[in-house]
Amino acid sequence: MVYPSRRELETQLARNATIVSGIADLFKKYNLTGWEAPFETLKKQLADYDAWQRATVLPKASASNGLQPEEYALRLEAAGVDIPPAQLTAMAHKAFADIQAQMAPLAAEIAKAHSWPSADYRDVVAQLKKNQIAGADILPLYTDHLHAIEQIIRDHKLVTLPDRPAIIEVATAAESVQQPAPHMRPPPLVHNTGQRGVFVLPLNIPAGTGQAAATKLDDFSYEAASWTLIAHEARPGHELQFDSMVENGVSLARAIYAGNSTNVEGWGLYSEYIVQPYMPKEGQLISLQGRLVRAARAFLDPELESGKIQPEQAMTILTHDVCLSEPLANEEVERFTFRAPGQATSYFYGYTRLLELRQKTETALGPKFNLMRFHDFILAQGLLPPGLMEKAVMEKFVPEEKAIP
């Protein structure tokens, strides 16, 4: 019998009350009736279950953060990562250093323009975070920048855009507990009755173990961060990726079996990459910081699972070198150690494979390479593992492009 980690149990027990109160909030939000008595019964049952966990399970909880090696290997496979952890971490460490090198001159340029005393990218990111957008100003800012990115996409012919607008909303506190990072709530690919993807911004995460109070994150609600988040979650990222599958159709096999993180998130991070050169300088720096986060995930996740590093060391890397706020860094460590071990590595891996495929396609087509048609073809395939996506591009897209007069 392998018991869950103490860190996982203590964190979840500390946050359960927020989730329970969030259930009542949703009943009230939608003006439902007759729910009060059954909810009180459920509330008591959940409280009793929490008490049982504290008395029975918590004393036996494991001090270790890692899964068994065989279980972790299965988690990576389920996320679509088909290379050994050692190879993945080596790639990620190299990419991490390369991205830091790219951030340095850009940070110096921004610091000079603003007359800031330090040109270190860490200090420049900290300065940019001071420009927080609060409350009712958040959605208008994101909406304005979404429109600006859409114009970038059209001007530079990056991908074909639909006529309909994208949807953005701010999460409730209970929703933020369930999913603390910005995300796109995807539409169902099977039996869809008109649902569309929604870009969700969770801006507050209730306190967990060791946190004195709920802390507002400063990682998403400042102007420079909005550019890369929109590119990833909305357009040309996940909103476009999923809604195009709904509108253009996708096979049941791909809808049911190909929805792993590598196949999905590779496009999300790649979307940031293709928009990044056209963002304002501040947005470009934070886009690189986002790429730095994904490289860090690809070596921190497996190294935490293997015991090579401890959560405290990972927190230091994430807060100091990656420039995350302490609440978000804590959420990342939770993600690596018990929320979804293995999954966070998929962003870096999927992006790397997609970038390699683009480079291979450019080499094969030379001057005939058309970036918009390449991206439209990738989206038209729906979700595919990197190997099958490469097969489709090389056996269908490349010959068809070569045949164009």
DSSP string, 347-390: HHHHHHHHHHHHHHHHHHHGGG--HHHHHHHHHHT-S--HHHHH
If DSSP codes are grouped into helix, strand and coil, which group holds residue 236? coil
Distance of CA 327 to the CA centre of its chain: 16
- Paired tokens of 25: 């909030």
What per-residue confidence (pLDDT) applies to 214?
A: 43
Distance of CA 237 to the CA centre of its chain: 11
Q: Is 135 exposed, middle or buried (0-12, 13-18, 19+ CB in 10 A)?
A: exposed
Residue with tokens 């088909």: 82
Long-range contacts of 11-16 (CB under 8 A, 24+ apart): 11/208, 11/209, 11/334, 11/338, 13/50, 13/53, 13/54, 13/58, 14/207, 14/208, 14/209, 15/177, 15/206, 15/207, 15/208, 16/46, 16/50
What per-residue confidence (pLDDT) applies to 212?
A: 44
Q: Is 404 exposed, middle or buried (0-12, 13-18, 19+ CB in 10 A)?
A: exposed
- Paired tokens of 258: 């190909």
Contacting residues for 354 by C-beta, under 8 A, at least 6 apart? 266, 267, 270, 378, 386, 389
Give the chain's residues under pLDDT 50. Answer: 206-207, 211-214
Helix (H) / strand (E) element for 231: namely helix 223-233
- Paired tokens of 315: 């927190």
Distance of CA 346 to the CA centre of its chain: 10
Smallest CA-to-CA distance from 343 within 260, 267, 266 is with 260
- Among left, alpha and beta (phi > 0; psi -120 to 50; other), residue 16 is alpha
- Paired tokens of 166: 């994208």
Which residues are 184's β-sheet partners? Answer: 199
Smallest CA-to-CA distance from 142 within 73, 225, 43, 250 is with 225
